[in-house]
Structure 1
Amino acid sequence: MNQSIQIREATAKDIYAMHKVRLAVRENTLSRPDRITEQDYLDAQDKLGKTWLIEIEQQVVAFATGYRDGSIWALFVDPDHEGQGYARALHQHMISWLWSLGHQRLTLTTEPNTRAEGFYLAQGWQAKGLTSEGEMRFELQPAPVSN
């Protein structure tokens, strides 16, 4: 794992690079790349929530978006940069922000039987069944505080 992972908040100038990462993934691929628009990214990182990213040598290699409603919209790592701890670092950063908003439960959906599903289970998320669209729904509860 890279010892000096730097996370920063995304801006409108990062949309093209984030979409490039989104299209590069090998699982949870978009059947229609035009399904997610520039406006979707803008709304996600401004009106609906926040987006963070990791850059290596000024290249976006991973990004994550959490919505203010307590849901996760995106967590993607460029395949050439997997296994460096970027997903885990972004996940922790994002859920820390979501918990700070006072949520008692976080939610997300992803394709079933993927590495993403295994990742979320390893991070403490609980599978709650399939949505009507066939995606696996997950929930995360805050860790109990020990006395």
Structure 2
Amino acid sequence: MVIREAKPRDIEQIQIVRNSVKENTLSDPRLVSDHDCEYFITTRGKGWVCETDGKIVGFCIADLVKNNIWALFIHPEYENRGIGKQLHDVMLQWYFSKKQTPVWLSTTPETRAVGFYKKQGWNEIGIHGEDEIKFEMTYTNWKKQQ
């Protein structure tokens, strides 16, 4: 497995991973367009993919504009192999090398993602939107995790 920076040519496979997940699914896959993905990985922030045998099996994207983790998803067939943690750590290392502003994300309650983020040291800080949990990671807290 290789973790590398996401490129626009990866978007088709990124979309396959995003739409394969069993939790935190999109109500309509068209809500996240290829253009959105390209914009986030080339202009607003940066993304990374985990690739094995030429196939993207996980990805993450950080947004420097809104200080947000826009995405972190693993294909269900590749879960529980440490890919999410590797992507998470590369992404946060990059984010905090660019700025020390706290970064936030949101996720659906009662999902494995909630446990994952708590284990990585994220703090639950409230509700986002109508029904998602909002988490925050500060620079200081991230450094303590290292």
Greater fraction of residues in helix: 2
Confirm or deny that 1:6 pairs with 2:6: no
TM-score by length of 1: 0.91
Shift of the alpha carbon at 1:132?
3.0
Aligned match of 1:53: 49
Q: Deviations over 1:43-87 (max 9, x none)?
A: 110111101001110000000000113210000000000011000
Aligned match of 2:125: 128
Query: Runs in 1 of length 4+ with deviation above 3 angstroms?
Result: 143-146
Q: Secondary structure of the equivalent of 1:16? A: helix
For residue 118 of structure 1, what is the amino acid of its counterpart? Answer: G
Structure 2: state its 5+ residue gaps: none
Q: Deviations over 1:82-120 (max 9, x none)?
A: 011000000000000111012231111111111011100
Question: Of the candidates 134, 137, 140, which is equivalent to residue 140 of structure 1?
Answer: 137
Confirm or deny that 1:79 pairs with 2:76: yes
Q: Secondary structure of the equivalent of 1:46? A: helix
Q: Distance in 1 between matches of 2:136 and 2:129?
A: 16
Higher mean alpha-carbon deviation, 52-61 vs 134-143, is at 134-143
Aligned match of 1:88: 85
Question: Of the candidates 100, 108, 111, which is equivalent to residue 111 of structure 1?
Answer: 108
Q: Distance in 1 between matches of 2:102 and 2:32?
A: 26
Question: Of the candidates 9, 16, 22, which is equivalent to residue 12 of structure 2?
Answer: 16
Structure 1: state its 5+ residue gaps: none
For residue 38 of structure 1, what is the amino acid of its counterpart? Answer: D
TM-score by length of 2: 0.92
Shift of the alpha carbon at 1:41?
0.5
Shift of the alpha carbon at 1:143?
3.7
Shift of the alpha carbon at 1:134?
1.3
Aligned-residue Cα RMSD (Å) equals 1.4
